[in-house]
Amino acid sequence: MKVKVASLSAHLPQKIVTNDDLAKTLDTSHEWIYTRTGIESRHLSSDSELSSDLAIEAAKKAIARVNLNPKDVDGIIVSTTTADRRFPSCACRVQGEIGAEKAFALDINAACCGFIYGLSVSDSMIKAMGLKNVLLIGAETLSKFVDWTDRSTCVLFGDGAGAFLLQPSQDDSSGIIATKLYSDGRKEKYEYILAHNGPQNDNRGYTTMSGKAVFKCAIDCMAISINEILDENGMTIDDIDWIVPHQANRRILEALCRMRNFPIEKVIITTQNHANTSSSSIPLAICDAMAKGTIKEGDTLLFTALGAGLVWGSAIVRL
């Protein structure tokens, strides 16, 4: 039995902020941001929009596309680093708001690699527990966790949510082929949020990043995880129709391709319009590519990501 992607969807906040918009209040420019990141614009949530709000909209779209009754959803897993509150979970709010009365609900925090971690957990739970319908959602409002006076970090991030409806399938021609996960807690200092590093009386904290160290780790770790997951499944890059990486920085993706001789033409890149949306970046990129007709049903996709922790991993999925 394989676990297939029965439906997928994306939801982005309405507000779009360009590099030129940021240059009005920061010591920066469109050229400075774009040449270093490949980012041109990003969607930002309003003050009243929470990560769970974005997750709810993505979930509703995913189940509506296959006319699934919310009462038939068995589980909801939300991958997020920007939960509305410490508890209860974002997933619990999604469960209540969409009317998934019998679904379990849990959050996963594996930073920018969260969707791949969630995919692995969902795959295992469906197979072990005999579940029929699981919603996996990546949802982030990172704009609420950056210092908007720090041009080295605030220009990098955007908000959004993407959802997969996962179901068991006896058809081996499609579904999750493999997932592979890694972590190295010794490198936690490279990227983090501390509750006390924000302004006085602000308990949210700000994103702190060692840019050069993360850049190098991302290239090295993703390259290794791609090679290992392909080797372990008797595949080569020629068996992959599209590489869908975490959309952190276009320069990272270009360097990854140069290092391992991957064809850049096979890489889905949406950093220019989404910026870094952490755990929601992979489903957002897939939905964007499918809407444009780039990715099609039957294509074999390779996901890869690295996030704070450090955590990283890859997955192979045939749609």
What positions carry a catalytic annotation? 112, 246, 276
35 to each of 20, 28, 39, 211, 216, how far by Cα in Å? Answer: 14, 12, 8, 15, 18
Concatenated DSSP letters of 65-110: TTT--GGG--EEEEE-SS-SSSSS-HHHHHHHHHT-TT-EEEEE--
Phi/psi at 53 (5° precision) = -60, -45
3-state helix, strand, coil in the chain (%, to 5): 40, 25, 30
Neighbour order of strands in the sheet with 75-79: 2-11, 159-169, 134-141, 75-79, 104-108
Q: Which two tokens stand for residue 283?
A: 């489903």
Phi/psi at 58 (5° precision) = -65, -40
Max CA distance (Å), the chain: 56
Q: Which two tokens stand for residue 165?
A: 């409806």
Amino acid in the structure at residue 15: K
In this structure, are residues 267 and 261 in contact, taking their beta carbons and an 8 Å threshold?
no
CA angle (283 as vertex; 151, 168 as ends), nearest 5 = 155
**Rounded distance, CA 290 to CA 269, Å?**
13
**Rounded distance, CA 271 to CA 63, Å?**
27
